[in-house]
Amino acid sequence: MKKIPVPETERKWLRCPYCGAKTILYSNTAECSGVYVMCTRNCKRVFEAKIENGKQVQ
């Protein structure tokens, strides 16, 4: 079964789960896990960028 590609229509900010700061941009087609992002704007903590079906999972 081939997945029908969803067009990229929207980009959202991945937010730090600790302080809510904007970190990286992801699109509505993004799938991501096991990628770690450092919050450079506020708390400097490292968290996992987990995205399923274009939505941030926390």
Give the long-range contacts of residues 41-44, CB within 8 A, separation 24 or more: 41/16, 42/16, 42/18, 43/16, 43/18, 43/19
For Zn ion, which is the closer residue by CB, 15 or 27? 15
Q: Tell me which of 14, 30, 39, 51 binds Zn ion, using CB under 5 A.
A: 39
Residue with structure tokens 């809510």?
20
Contact flag: residue 18 with Zn ion (CB under 5 A): yes
13 binds Zn ion (CB under 5 A): no
State the residues that interact with Zn ion by CB under 5 A: 16, 18-19, 21, 39, 42-43
